[in-house]
Amino acid sequence: NFHMVRESAMPAVLTENGFIDNASDAAALKSDAFLTKIARGHAEGLASALGLSRKDGGNDGEQGYVEILADSLWTYNTANWDDKAVIVNKDEVFTVIRDKFPVGGGHMYQIKSGLYITANPTYVRYYTK
């Protein structure tokens, strides 16, 4: 019966994922791996509660990577083909933090640096370990 859930004009849920006044929880909440587990747990729980299924192309929670196949390739500051950032080179590998998504007639991945890169298999190879 919390105010922020009770007074919402839409379905709402409140989760507690740890307590910052507990040293062990506070340390865990500083960990990217722990936060990723929390986020995945929320997403999977909501999907289950709503009867949703994973779309094709999901990696079932495995960490994804892209390897550059082209001699050189642009990355992008935002999910916009005109917002070029820096050039990366053949055989470089980047950690994917956002799976393949559509952008203006093509697809991109977001990589750990925060930059975006094409998902075109002519230029990059996506894989999980």
Q: Looking at residue 6, what is its pLDDT?
A: 87
In the chain the first and final C-alpha atoms are separated, in Å, by 44
* Whether residues 26 and 74 fall in one domain: no
Give the number of domains in the chain.
2
Q: Looking at residue 60, what is its pLDDT?
A: 60
Task: Note down the domain range covering 101.
Answer: 64-128
Amino acid type, 86: V
CATH number of the domain encompassing residue 78: 2.30.30.40
Q: Which pTM does this prediction carry? A: 0.55
CA 61 – CA 30 distance, rounded (Å): 20
* Whether residues 75 and 38 fall in one domain: no
Q: Looking at residue 110, what is its pLDDT?
A: 95
Chunked mean pLDDT (size 10), the chain, 129 residues:
86 86 91 85 86 62 91 96 96 94 95 96 93
* Whether residues 36 and 87 fall in one domain: no
Contact 129, 98 (CB under 8 A): no
Asked if the structure places residue 33 within a domain, the reply is yes
The burial of 123, by beta-carbon neighbours within 10 Å (0-12 exposed, 13-18 middle, 19 or more buried), is given as: middle
Asked if the structure places residue 17 within a domain, the reply is yes
The 8-class DSSP code of residue 81 comes to T
* Whether residues 8 and 39 fall in one domain: yes
* Whether residues 38 and 68 fall in one domain: no
Asked if the structure places residue 57 within a domain, the reply is no
